[in-house]
Amino acid sequence: MSEKEVKNLEAIFEARIARDEKIEPKDWMPEKYRKTHIRQISQHAHSEIVGMLPEGNWISRAPSLRRKAALLAKVQDEAGHGLYLYSACETLGVSRDELYDQLHSGKAKYSSIFNYPTVTWADIGAIGWLVDGAAIINQVPLCNTSFGPYARAMVRVCKEESFHQRQGYEIMLTLCNGTEEQKAMAQDALNRWWWPSLMMLGPTDAESIHTEQSMKWKLKRKTNDELRQQFIDQTVPQADILGLTVPDPDLKWNEERGSYDFGEIDWDEFWQVVKGHGPCNKERMNARVGAWERGTWVRDAAMAYAEKQEEKKVSKAS
């Protein structure tokens, strides 16, 4: 294909996106579009799978049968999200095994928030309320993103995430209506999860390298800083209802802006965790790689069995 022809295809492609048409896997797409989508969707899938670990940590110790069942269901939902995000990614011509390799080798990233430990039951509430809350803000715009399989997967993901968020908030509410010990547990969880949750919305716009192109492809509709502000404005009143204090002495309502002003985020901490030196980066990777390696004989057996069954069918037929 000549350079001119490619340019022409690109122009048609960009025009389709501008008209809000969906791009489907078999459609022509620029290589950069394919790569960017593989990166983002797989990163999202990995986050779901790694995200199962900090919450899974509390399944065996959930404080009531109702909470145990709800947590099992939630973590199972996350596995489901991983599954259809990996499937969406596979439509772009990459296999799930390749994507796992990228995760296990450290080449692919996942959301840094899951590198923080869940040390009390209240952390399960805080994750639902704050982490899923921030995730929804990131993800709702993706229901209208240009790549069809991703947009459709996100519709379902967002519905379930919003249920998880309410569930998390309800855990917090129960704790805050409980004993002094329970309320202290809730406050402690908010103290530890607040700042990492703000960091979840990504580096400041000045530092964000992908924003411009992603906006054009509707992988992004608002900048990181706008999303962060939206999250804070939405979450602070919820903390007030709980009677908890947001751990930011600079947090203040700004009448003029109609928004909260907030303190400086510790970006050194953000980069430290992104670069692999957070409290649980190593533990999370060990858990993922360990499960994968321990499961090799099981997956090999399933393949061998399927082949044997196939052979039997063929020999019966002949």
Partner 1 sequence: MANQNLYNYILGIADNSLVLGQRLGELCGHGPSLETDIAGTNISLDLIGQTRSYFQYAAKVSGKELTEDDIAFLRLERDYRNVLLVEQPNTHFGYVIARQYLFDVFHLLFLNELQYSKDETLSAIAKKGIKEVSYHKRFSGDWIKRLGDGTEESHEKMQEAVDDLWRYTDELFEMSEDDQQMVSEGIGVDLPKLKESYYDEVSELLSEATLEIPERKYFSYGGKNGVHTEHMGYLLADLQYMQRTYPNMQW
Residues that bind partner 1 (CB under 8 A): 49, 52-53, 56, 59-69, 72-73, 75-76, 79-80, 82-83, 86, 121, 171, 174, 177-179, 181-182, 287, 290-292, 294-305, 308
Nearer to partner 1, 181 or 268 (CB): 181
User: What whole-number distance in Å separates Cα of residue 170 and Cα of residue 176?
Assistant: 10
Residue burial 85-122, b: 16+ Cβ < 10 Å; e: rest? bbebbbbbebeeeebbebbeeeebebbbbbbbebebbb
Yes or no: say if 135 and 48 are a contact pair by the CB < 8 Å rule.
Answer: no
Q: How far is CA 282 from the centre of its chain?
A: 19
**Rounded least distance, CB 283 to partner 1, Å:** 12
Reading the block at residue 125, the tokens are: 């509430």
Provide the minimum distance between the beta carbon of 138 and partner 1 in the complex, in angstroms, as a whole number: 22
Q: For partner 1, which is the closer residue by CB, 63 or 243?
A: 63
> What's the closest the beta carbon of residue 273 comes to partner 1, in angstroms?
20
Smallest distance from partner 1 to CB 114, Å: 11
User: Residue 73 or residue 241: which is nearer to partner 1 going by CB?
Assistant: 73
> What is the smallest separation between the CB atom of 53 and partner 1, expressed in angstroms?
5
Q: Could you tell me the two tokens for 49?
A: 């799978």
For residue 65, with 0-12 CB atoms within 10 Å meaning exposed, 13-18 middle and 19 or more buried, which class applies? exposed
CB of 69 to partner 1, least distance (A): 5
Nearer to partner 1, 127 or 227 (CB): 127
Q: Is residue 66 exposed (0-12), middle (13-18) or buried (19+ Cβ within 10 Å)?
A: exposed
Closer residue to partner 1 (CB): 75 or 273: 75
Choice between 251 and 287, CB closer to partner 1? 287
Q: How far apart are CA 25 and CA 172, in angstroms?
A: 42
